[in-house]
């Protein structure tokens, strides 16, 4: 066999291998960068209208003999192009020894139709003027003297054609955000995809200009199926920390809008998303259903819901961080698009990724510590009454239980807890030890204890009813509902004893405390955590405020079913939301209609009937005594 024959056989063998072995399948990646017209206008103002009140003096200065100026730019769609409207002021005269001879001037509006021009390699966006028109100050078609227009037109178009919007920084920030989120197995391929992203089609829409960034990535990540979702105790702890960072980030995002005018619908939407996100996490903790991609799924769900609102509100804000907002929105949109590609890329949200997003929003490094401080703006958003002045937060120095006094200590109400509660941070804010011991569940005389707790609940109900505009015919129902909720949630207990220790009542998933079982994660930033734990009156008031919130803003304002059809179910509807968040409103109505209510629904309705009948003897079933 000749050498040529050997070479032919080898070549045929390699061709056969190439034909039989499937090539790595590549997916096309298209990431959108949407430039809202308000954002575009803001960027163009910075480039071409640097003067006072968004103006530009192209020739001369206002008041001079020869002057050409433009101001008040506004962008909108014009078919496949954009329309740039602005005020135009032009004045021509002959300057002779300080005198302006025979000046001719005109003021009105100039409209330019411009074609977006995008360099896909440098990410520079420019505009080419292809048409123009004039109108009077009253927006009627106008004409001006030819010599004025011949003077103004080339100078204005030349000035505006020089506009170059550098979109490379937000693309760079997006790459830096996405790169660490990919699974290690796909890190090299996805980094190559990010590095090779280039500009594609540019489309003009009614909302703005959409630039599509294109690339390709091979399917290199192969998830291991169901076992990939399992989570070890160490991973669970890490996931809880990650969710806490995500929760702080979401609050930070919402807070950016707190100072802006919001419609009642927008306010309710923000409150819904925040509460439902927190309730979902609390439920996942309780049901041992926390998965590795829990935060990612919440992020995607929240962004799909709130993205349009954030765009509308943040782009309307006057900010020096406009490109930072664009980077943030582009990164969030990109994450949503990549998530839709399924497990190919193995995306996981990280704490570092959330910190990068926060930096895009603020224009600087922004830590996201998970703290229990009360946030007045957050309370305002949820339409809760203004909080009383709060003490400075105590960092991590928490009291989780106290020794029960005996002998000489019984006569000294300042023992044990005084070092903590009477520190400068809490002096005058927390109850004395004697007040705490008052709410120990006694071994006998349960009736007297129950009467005192009911008095606390009645007082809290009265405080809330005095502040809020609840119809008078519902006030009795509200008071009864609060008593039934305390019965259902805690069996009227703020504290429990364990040996010779006294501690606050804590739910099985370690999140809800006290007589009204206020979930500390759900209501973080809205109530003082220390008071929820150690002050029964504060805990009762918080529970009444939360129940009132759900009653007024959801149960009474819900569109389905008609109010008269649900009147008999108001307490149960409110309790369902109290337990599971705003999303339970429709879910409870569906359960009630189908007759498949939860055991907790039925148990609460039963408690409600007991309270209405004052059947207090049944308290022994959960509280003990006789």
101-140 tens-digit pLDDT: 878 999 999 999 999 999 999 999 999 999 999 999 999 9
| 246 to 7, 293, 311, 357, 566: CA distances (angstroms) | 61, 13, 20, 11, 36
Q: Say whether pLDDT at 494 is over 50.
A: yes
Greater confidence (416 vs 540) lies with 540
Q: Which residues contact 269 (CB under 8 A, 6 or more apart)?
A: 305, 306, 309
Q: Residue 217 has which token pair?
A: 């990535």
Contact 107, 67 (CB under 8 A): no
The helix or strand, by DSSP H or E, that contains position 58, with its residue range, turns out to be strand 55-59
- Top CATH class of 390-623 equals mainly alpha
Q: What are phi and psi of 369, to 5 degrees?
A: -75, 140
The whole-angstrom separation of Cα 409 and Cα 412 is: 5
Q: Say whether pLDDT at 418 is over 60.
A: no
* Beta strands 518-519 and 512-513, pairing class: antiparallel
Q: Say whether pLDDT at 508 is over 50.
A: yes
Q: What are phi and psi of 390, to 5 degrees?
A: -105, 145
Q: Which residues contact 254 (CB under 8 A, 6 or more apart)?
A: 270, 274, 378, 381
What is the architecture, at CATH level 2, of domain 36-165?
A: Super Roll (3.15)
Confidence of residue 511 (pLDDT cuts 50, 70, 90): confident
Please state, as a whole number, how many other Cβ atoms lie within 10 Å of the Cβ of residue 44. 20
User: What percent of the chain lies above the pLDDT cut of 90?
Assistant: 50
Which runs of E-coded beta strand occur in 60-98? 67-78, 81-96
For the segment 64-77, the average pLDDT, to the nearest whole number, is: 94
The whole-angstrom separation of Cα 581 and Cα 573 is: 11
Q: Which residues contact 18 (CB under 8 A, 6 or more apart)?
A: none
DSSP string, 391-419: PPPP-S-----EEPP-GGGGG-TTTTTHH
For the segment 247-254, the average pLDDT, to the nearest whole number, is: 93
Q: Residue 113 has which token pair?
A: 């139709």
Contact 36, 211 (CB under 8 A): no
For the segment 274-294, the average pLDDT, to the nearest whole number, is: 87
The whole-angstrom separation of Cα 161 and Cα 535 is: 67
Average pLDDT across the chain, whole number:
84
Highest mean pLDDT among 319-328, 406-415, 585-594: 585-594
User: What pLDDT score was predicted for residue 563?
Assistant: 53
Of the candidates 445, 524, 609, which has an alpha carbon nearest to the alpha carbon of residue 618? 609
Confidence of residue 592 (pLDDT cuts 50, 70, 90): confident
Q: Residue 100 has which token pair?
A: 């302006």
User: What pLDDT score was predicted for residue 83?
Assistant: 96
Numbers of helices and strands, H then E, in the chain: 22, 14
User: What pLDDT score was predicted for residue 15?
Assistant: 33
Highest mean pLDDT among 28-32, 278-282, 497-501: 278-282
Per domain, the residue ranges of the chain are 36-165, 169-223+233-370, 390-623
User: What pLDDT score was predicted for residue 345?
Assistant: 65
User: What pLDDT score was predicted for residue 390?
Assistant: 56
| 212 to 12, 114, 276, 367, 483: CA distances (angstroms) | 42, 19, 33, 32, 58
Confidence of residue 427 (pLDDT cuts 50, 70, 90): very low
Of the candidates 244, 254, 308, 255, which has an alpha carbon nearest to the alpha carbon of residue 278? 244
Of the candidates 306, 533, 520, 508, which has an alpha carbon nearest to the alpha carbon of residue 431? 533
Greater confidence (29 vs 481) lies with 481
Greater confidence (204 vs 317) lies with 204
Q: How many residues does the chain have?
A: 626
Q: Say whether pLDDT at 626 is over 60.
A: no
Greater confidence (513 vs 468) lies with 513
Q: Say whether pLDDT at 483 is over 90.
A: yes
User: What pLDDT score was predicted for residue 424?
Assistant: 39
The whole-angstrom separation of Cα 212 and Cα 430 is: 57
Q: Residue 384 has which token pair?
A: 């809760």
Count the alpha carbons within 13 Å of 519 in the hemisphere toward its beta carbon: 21
Specify the DSSP class assigned to residue 389. P
Task: Give the N- to C-terminal CA distance of the chain in Å, as an integer.
Answer: 106
Ranges 58-72, 419-433, 469-483, 500-514: which has the least confidence:
419-433
User: What pLDDT score was predicted for residue 224?
Assistant: 55
Q: Say whether pLDDT at 625 is over 60.
A: no
User: What pLDDT score was predicted for residue 129?
Assistant: 94
User: What pLDDT score was predicted for residue 396?
Assistant: 46
The helix or strand, by DSSP H or E, that contains position 65, with its residue range, turns out to be none
User: What pLDDT score was predicted for residue 18?
Assistant: 31
Condensed to tens digits (0 to 9), the pLDDT of residues 310-351 reads 888 877 666 678 888 889 999 999 888 888 776 556 788 889
Confidence of residue 435 (pLDDT cuts 50, 70, 90): confident
For the segment 479-490, the average pLDDT, to the nearest whole number, is: 97
Greater confidence (84 vs 321) lies with 84
What is the Rg, in whole angstroms, of the alpha carbon atoms belonging to the chain?
A: 33
Highest mean pLDDT among 245-259, 276-290, 497-511, 536-550: 536-550
Which region holds residue 102: left if phi is over 0, alpha if psi is between -120 and 50, else beta?
Answer: left
Contact 341, 488 (CB under 8 A): no
Greater confidence (14 vs 242) lies with 242
| 105 to 61, 89, 96, 145, 488: CA distances (angstroms) | 14, 8, 17, 9, 80
User: What pLDDT score was predicted for residue 432?
Assistant: 67
Condensed to tens digits (0 to 9), the pLDDT of residues 188-200 reads 888 888 888 998 8
Quote helix, strand, coil % in the chain, to nearest 5.
50, 20, 30
Q: Longest Cα pair distance anywhere in the chain, in angstroms?
A: 110
Q: Which residues contact 487 (CB under 8 A, 6 or more apart)?
A: 607, 610, 611, 619, 622
Of the candidates 195, 196, 151, 172, which has an alpha carbon nearest to the alpha carbon of residue 60? 151
| 234 to 244, 292, 552: CA distances (angstroms) | 16, 12, 42
For the segment 445-454, the average pLDDT, to the nearest whole number, is: 92
User: What pLDDT score was predicted for residue 399?
Assistant: 67
The whole-angstrom separation of Cα 279 and Cα 581 is: 6
Query: Is the peptide bond prior to 364 cis by the omega test (within 30 degrees of 0)?
Result: no
Confidence of residue 71 (pLDDT cuts 50, 70, 90): very high
Q: Say whether pLDDT at 85 is over 90.
A: yes
DSSP string, 166-208: E-HHHHHHHHHHHGGGS-GGGHHHHHHHHHT-EEEEEEE-SSE
Condensed to tens digits (0 to 9), the pLDDT of residues 341-389 reads 765 567 888 899 999 999 998 888 899 999 989 999 899 888 888 877 6
């Amino acid at each position: 066999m000749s050498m040529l024959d050997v070479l032919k056989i080898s070549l045929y063998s390699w061709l056969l291998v190439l034909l039989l072995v499937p090539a790595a399948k590549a997916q096309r990646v298209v990431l959108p960068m949407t430039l809202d017209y308000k954002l575009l206008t803001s960027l163009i103002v910075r480039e071409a209208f640097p003067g006072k009140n968004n103006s530009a003096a192209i020739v001369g200065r206002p008041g001079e003999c020869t002057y050409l100026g433009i101001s008040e730019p506004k962008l909108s769609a014009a078919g496949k192009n954009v329309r740039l409207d602005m005020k135009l002021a032009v004045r021509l005269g002959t300057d002779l020894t300080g005198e302006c001879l025979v000046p001719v001037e005109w003021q009105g509006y100039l409209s330019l139709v411009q074609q977006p021009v995008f360099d896909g390699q440098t990410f520079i966006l420019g505009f080419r003027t292809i048409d123009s028109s004039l109108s009077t100050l009253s927006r009627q078609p106008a004409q001006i003297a030819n010599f004025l227009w011949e003077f103004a037109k080339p100078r204005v178009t030349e000035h505006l054609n020089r506009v170059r919007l550098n979109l490379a920084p937000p693309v760079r920030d997006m790459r830096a955000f996405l790169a660490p989120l990919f699974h290690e197995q796909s890190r090299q391929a996805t980094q190559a995809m990010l590095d090779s992203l280039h500009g594609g089609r540019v489309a003009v829409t009614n909302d703005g200009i959409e630039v599509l960034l294109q690339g390709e990535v091979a399917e290199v990540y192969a998830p291991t199926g169901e076992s990939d979702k399992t989570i070890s105790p160490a991973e669970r702890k890490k996931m809880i920390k990650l969710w806490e960072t995500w929760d702080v980030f979401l609050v930070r995002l919402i807070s950016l809008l707190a100072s802006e005018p919001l419609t009642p619908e927008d306010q309710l939407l923000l409150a819904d998303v925040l509460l439902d996100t927190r309730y979902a996490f609390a439920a996942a903790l309780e049901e041992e259903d926390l998965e590795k991609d829990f935060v990612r799924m919440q992020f995607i769900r929240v962004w799909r819901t709130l993205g349009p609102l954030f765009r509308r509100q943040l782009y309307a804000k006057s900010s020096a961080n406009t490109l930072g907002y664009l980077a943030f929105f582009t990164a969030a949109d990109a994450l949503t698009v990549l998530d839709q590609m399924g497990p190919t890329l193995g995306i996981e949200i990280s704490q570092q990724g959330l910190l990068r997003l926060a930096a895009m929003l603020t224009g600087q490094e922004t830590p996201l510590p998970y703290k229990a401080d009360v946030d007045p703006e957050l309370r305002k958003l949820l339409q809760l009454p203004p909080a009383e002045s709060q003490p400075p937060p105590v960092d991590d120095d928490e009291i989780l239980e106290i020794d029960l006094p005996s002998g000489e200590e019984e006569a000294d109400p300042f023992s044990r807890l005084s070092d903590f509660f009477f520190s400068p941070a809490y002096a005058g804010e927390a109850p004395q030890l004697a007040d705490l011991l008052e709410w120990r569940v006694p071994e006998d005389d349960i009736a007297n204890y129950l009467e005192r707790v009911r008095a606390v609940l009645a007082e809290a109900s009265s405080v809330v009813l005095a502040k809020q505009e609840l119809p008078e015919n519902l006030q009795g129902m509200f008071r009864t509902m609060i008593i039934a909720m305390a019965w259902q949630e805690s069996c009227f207990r703020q504290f429990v004893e364990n040996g010779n220790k006294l501690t606050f009542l804590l739910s099985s998933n370690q999140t809800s405390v006290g007589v009204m079982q206020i979930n500390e994660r759900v209501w973080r930033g809205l109530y003082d955590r220390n008071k929820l734990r150690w002050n029964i009156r504060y805990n009762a008031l918080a529970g009444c405020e939360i129940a009132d919130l759900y009653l007024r803003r959801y149960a009474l304002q819900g569109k389905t079913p008609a109010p008269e059809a649900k009147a008999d179910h108001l307490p149960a509807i409110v309790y369902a939301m109290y337990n599971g968040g705003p999303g339970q409103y429709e879910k409870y109505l569906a359960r009630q209609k189908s007759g498949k209510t939860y055991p907790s629904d039925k148990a609460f309705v039963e408690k409600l009937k007991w309270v209405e009948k004052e059947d207090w003897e049944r308290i022994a079933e959960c509280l003990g005594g006789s």
